[in-house]
């Protein structure tokens, strides 16, 4: 089980020679999850909050209420780190020591930049579309009042300020006699059938955006 915990420290400039391909890997990991954890430092101590996010190009967008404390603690430009981690499978070895997990993880460090005006409006739509693609066309636009109640911020993805790690493999071939089964149990996230609220308009059909979620439920690929 050691692989997940030996995730490399977030050194600046680690493996710069692999940066271009690793950047694709970073984007793939960021785009595979809806939620990350945003860490900062408050009074010398770690402070962390789970957060929905959307990557758009070289920026990670987050949002929150202007009235609540969560995002305001990091709004002043203090250093942050956003961490995304997905567990893709249990790696079952011939010993517990050699057992591990397949996973994808990413850490992006930097400082959040507040977004205003058209940038803020676009960011909120990006976030909505990221979480439920197609939904913004099915409902009315956000109002000025709603936008003024929302804090939107961007974390720039800057070279040397992020790491990505992917483990996708069997365990090592045993170097000792063992008759124990060895393999991987894939883990994935699925959408269950939508549930209609009791106060939903009686004639309102399940919208296309929601129906499309089921298409994302694809069984894990079989390992060669």
Contacts of a copy of itself in 14-33 (CB under 8 A): none
Distance (Å, rounded) from C-alpha 66 to C-alpha 179? 59
Q: Which stretch binds a copy of itself (CB under 8 A): 15-23, 24-32, 115-123, 203-211?
A: 203-211
Candidates 20-28, 114-122, 143-151 — which segment interacts with a copy of itself by CB under 8 A?
143-151
Six token digits for residue 115? 């977004």
Contact residue for a copy of itself among 15, 31, 160, 189 (CB under 8 A)? 189
Helix ranges, 49-159 (H): 69-72, 117-131, 144-148
Interior/surface letters 53-90, b for 16+ CB within 10 angstroms, e for the rest? bbbeeebbbbbbeeeeebbebbeeeeebbbbbbbebbe
Kindly state the smallest distance separating residue 91's Cβ from a copy of itself, in Å: 9
- 51 in contact with a copy of itself (CB under 8 A): yes
Residues 6+ apart with CB under 8 A from 33: 84, 85, 86
Candidate list 83, 114, 134, 167; residue touching a copy of itself; CB under 8 A = 83
Nearest to 156 by CA among 125, 121, 119: 119
Q: How many residues bind a copy of itself (CB under 8 A)?
A: 107
Quick one: 71 or 154, whose CB is closer to a copy of itself? Answer: 71
Which tokens sit at 56? 């758009």
Q: Is 94 in the site for a copy of itself (CB under 8 A)?
A: yes
Options 28, 76, 158, 185; binder of a copy of itself; rule CB under 8 A: 185
Is 151 in contact with 66 (CB distance < 8 Å)?
A: yes
Looking at 28, 35, 76, 158, which residue binds a copy of itself (CB under 8 A)? Answer: 35
Residue from 18, 31, 58, 97 in contact with a copy of itself (CB under 8 A) = 97
Q: Interacting stretch for a copy of itself, rule CB under 8 A, among 19-27, 72-80, 113-121?
A: 72-80
């Amino acid at each position: 089980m050691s692989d997940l915990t030996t995730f490399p420290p977030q050194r600046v400039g680690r493996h710069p020679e692999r940066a271009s391909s690793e950047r694709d890997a970073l984007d793939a990991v960021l785009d595979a999850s809806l939620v990350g954890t945003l860490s900062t430092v408050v009074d010398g101590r770690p402070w962390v909050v789970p957060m929905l996010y959307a990557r758009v190009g070289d920026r990670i967008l987050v949002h929150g209420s202007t009235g609540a404390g969560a995002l305001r603690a990091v709004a002043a430009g203090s250093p942050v780190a956003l961490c995304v981690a997905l567990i893709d499978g249990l790696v079952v070895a011939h010993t517990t020591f050699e057992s591990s997990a397949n996973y994808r993880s990413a850490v992006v460090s930097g400082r959040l930049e507040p977004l205003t005006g058209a940038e803020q409006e676009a960011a909120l739509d990006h976030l909505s579309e990221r979480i439920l693609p197609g939904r913004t066309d099915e409902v009315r636009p956000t109002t000025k009042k709603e936008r003024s109640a929302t804090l939107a911020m961007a974390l720039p993805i800057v070279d040397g300020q992020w790491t990505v790690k992917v483990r996708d493999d069997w365990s090592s071939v045993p170097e000792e006699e063992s008759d124990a089964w060895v393999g991987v149990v894939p883990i994935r996230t699925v959408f269950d059938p939508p549930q209609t609220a009791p106060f939903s308009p009686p004639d309102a059909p399940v919208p296309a955006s929601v129906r499309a979620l089921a298409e994302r439920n694809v069984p894990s690929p079989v390992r060669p």
